Amino acid sequence: MHTRTVFFISDGTGITAETFGNAILAQFEFKPRHVRLPFVDTVDKAHQVVRQVNHTAELEGIKPLVFTTLVNTEILGVIEGGCRGMLLDMFGTFVRPLEIELGLKSNHRIGRFSDVSKSKAYHDRIEAINFSLAHDDGQSNTDLAQADVILVGVSRSGKTPTSLYLAMQYGLKAANYPLIPDDFERQQLPGALVPHRKKIFGLTIQPDRLSEIRNERRPNSRYASIQNCRMEVAEAEAMMRRAGIRWLSTTTKSIEEIATTILQEIRPERLEY
C-alpha cells in the first residue's frame, strides 16, 4: 500500500518535474503513489488539477505532495491559490533567484520539447534510434563505421537497453553484438568488429545474476544454467582483456549509470547539455 500520493504537474511533458521530484523522494523511505499530470496549459485544466488534488487529500486524509514545473504564472496562480497539497514549485525555487543573480529574465519556454521536432538534434536522435534498432544483437554488419559505440557482451548482459538509452537520450548510434560460443572457440572477436576496435565497449555481469535473468526467459535450459553462465562470462571477460577492450559489470548498475560510464570513456563531450 502506498503511504501518500505525489502529483507531478507541468505545462509540458512532466518529465522534468517527475525526474527532479523522484530524485528528492528517493532520500526518504516510503512508497508514494505517483500521478503525472502533463500539458496543464490552460486555466481550466489548472482548476481540474486543483479539484483532483483536493479530492485526493479528502480521501486520504493527508496532504498530497505536489511538484510543479509550470511556466505560465496565471496557471500556477490557480494551483497555488486552491491546491490543498504541499506545493513544491521547482521553477519558482530556482528560476526566479537565478533571474535576480544573472540580471536576466528567463524565456518562460514550456519544456525543452516544445520546438524540438524542428531541430537538427531531434532528427539526429531519430536517426540514432533507427540505427541502434537495425544493429541490435548483431543483426547487421553494415555501416558500422557510422557507429559511435559498439557494445559487446554475453547474451542478456544489458546491451540492448543500454544501446537504446544511448540513442534516445544522447543521440548516439549504438550497435551491439553478443559474444557467443563460436567466438569463444576461435578466441577472437567477431570479424566485422575488428576494424572498429576503438569504438567497442564491453558489458559483463555476475554469473548468478545472469542465470536468474536467463531463467526468466528460458527456464531450466542449458542456456540459463549457472555452469554455462560461468563459462560464458569467464570466456567473454578473457576475450575483452586480450583485445584491450574497456568494460564494466552491469550487475548492480542502472541503465543510466552504465550509459554515463560509457559516455565518460567514449564520448565525454556528450555529457554536456
The reply to whether 252 sits in an annotated binding site is no
The reply to whether 222 sits in an annotated binding site is no
Task: Give the three cell numbers for residue 54.
Answer: 483536493
Helix/strand/coil for 249: strand
The reply to whether 160 sits in an annotated binding site is yes
The reply to whether 253 sits in an annotated binding site is no
CA contacts within 13 A on the Cβ side of 12: 19
The reply to whether 33 sits in an annotated binding site is no
Instruction: Judge contact between 35 and 8, C-beta under 8 A.
Output: yes
Instruction: Judge contact between 109 and 71, C-beta under 8 A.
Output: yes
- In DSSP terms, 89 is beta-bridged to 68
Q: Which of 64, 66, 45, 67 is nearest to 55 (CA)?
A: 64
The reply to whether 154 sits in an annotated binding site is yes
Helix/strand/coil for 211: helix
Instruction: Judge contact between 258 and 212, C-beta under 8 A.
Output: no
Which residues define the annotated binding site for ADP?
153-160
Binding residues: 153-160
